[in-house]
A and B are shown apart, each in its own frame.
Chain A
Amino acid sequence: MPDVDIRLTVNGQLRDATVEPRLTLADFLRERCQLTGTHLGCEHGVCGACTVLLDGAAVRSCLVFAVQADGAEVTTVEGLGSEGGGLSVVQQAFRDCHGLQCGFCTPGFVVSVTALLRDNPDPTDEQIRHGLAGNLCRCTGYQGILAAARQAAAAPR
């Protein structure tokens, strides 16, 4: 089972690595890049906590092998804020609207909402709900998250 050399860009930084083919992108980000903002909940594609942007598209990083991301650009939740550590519009909205309690699911929601609003800057409430459907939260009851998505959509960008 030979290891595979890969090269990808994570949050703007080039990363070279030699990985086992069965290493998921999520584990690569957390264990090899020490980017532990990407959370792992179910590890089989249900919960959405591990959502990242892969060449701009929101994907579940537990359902992508790191070898498949060879040559790609990955953005994790750590790459969404500004250089100085400031929050992105979406992150600020989650903070303002109490869109999190324990915070475990939050990175996945923030990445999903970021992609959703990029592709559809003026979503209807129904579109927001569909956009959030791929992420699970066991604390908030979702109302704060919905409010955060609405605030972020309304914010000047």
Chain B
Amino acid sequence: MKPAPFDYHRPETAAEAVGLLADLGDEAKILAGGQSLIPMLALRLTAFGDLVDVGRVEGLRGVEPRADEVWIGAGTTAAAIENSATVAAGVPLLARATPFVGHFQIRNRGTIGGSLAHADPAAEYPAVAVALDAELEALSPRGTRRIPAGAFFMGLWDTALEPDELLTGVRFPVWSGRRGFAVEELARRHGDFAIAGAAVAIELDADDRVRRCGIGLMGLGPTPVRAAKAEAAAVGAAVGDLGPEDVGRLAVADLDAVPSDLHGSSAYRTRIGAVVAARAWSAAGTEALDA
């Protein structure tokens, strides 16, 4: 046994889970699919006195189409998202990002809420949530609140969640009309965290001008990054007039905390970021023009 000892709690309802979090305090951590937490425990990068397993909490799983959004339960596995026709039709960017998440054995266990709450800046789901302006639902003993994805990621593995809050669901807006979506990333091996990646959503008006767009960057800062400058330059412009390389260059122009490690220096990651953003922009733009 490699992890440090802990007490195990398996609540059956979300209310029970957040009650446990409130009672147990700082020593408690939520165990969802465990595909990030258990390796960290095994390597003793972290340790907790109490794990609250939400794997059997009612109402945390499922994909529900709603008026102009798709609700996905926080406990829904990546495999279920991958196989969901509702996600494929309503939130194609999420569907296309999913095959990049680990390997299929990881996707069978790992959950979307777990990935978002873990908040690895190189992960796919946080970047997609940021690019699409998703809203995260958090439950605590004080009730439910909604947190915009743009205000959720605070730093490396750090989120806006309070210690007694549980992610219960994610609301992804459904983009309509002429839209295109693409995810591009460079990883040393498929399934690894990306050295850099980009998730792009584009919606065009009848004159092929960009009505709205979202560019989420992975692996290029302590949090997933929204490429605001590139988006601002693109909105209102005819998509054919925008060179993908220019969009890519703008996407990385304001980055100031690009990580550097043995897989790549900051400068290298920034260059790769511009390339993958350009490729994703090009692919999404082409799809939107054909839509």
Contact = CB atoms under 8 A, between A and B. Distances in A.
Interface of A: 1-2, 4, 20-24, 27, 43-45, 48, 51, 54, 57-60, 62-65, 67-68, 112, 115-116, 130-131, 133-134
Given A62-B38, A112-B105, A130-B104, 8 more contacts: A22-B5, A24-B38, A44-B43, A59-B109, A60-B109, A63-B35, A64-B109, A133-B103
A5 to B, nearest CB: 11
Contacts of A58: 104-105, 108
Contacts, number: 90
Residue among A20, A48, A63, A112 with the most chain B CB within 10 A?
A: A63
B34 A65 contact: yes
B51 A21 contact: yes
A46 to B, nearest CB: 8
B4 A45 contact: no
Interface of B: 1-8, 10, 31, 34-35, 38-39, 41-43, 51, 53, 55, 79, 99, 102-106, 108-109, 189-191
B105 A21 contact: no
16 contacts: A20-B5, A22-B4, A22-B6, A23-B1, A43-B2, A44-B39, A58-B104, A58-B108, A63-B109, A65-B31, A67-B8, A68-B34, A68-B55, A130-B104, A134-B103, A134-B106
A152 B212 CA distance: 48
A65 B38 contact: yes
Nearest to A55: B108
Given A2-B7, A21-B51, A44-B43, A27 B106 contact: no
A23 B4 CA distance: 10
B1 A67 contact: no
B258 to A, nearest CB: 25
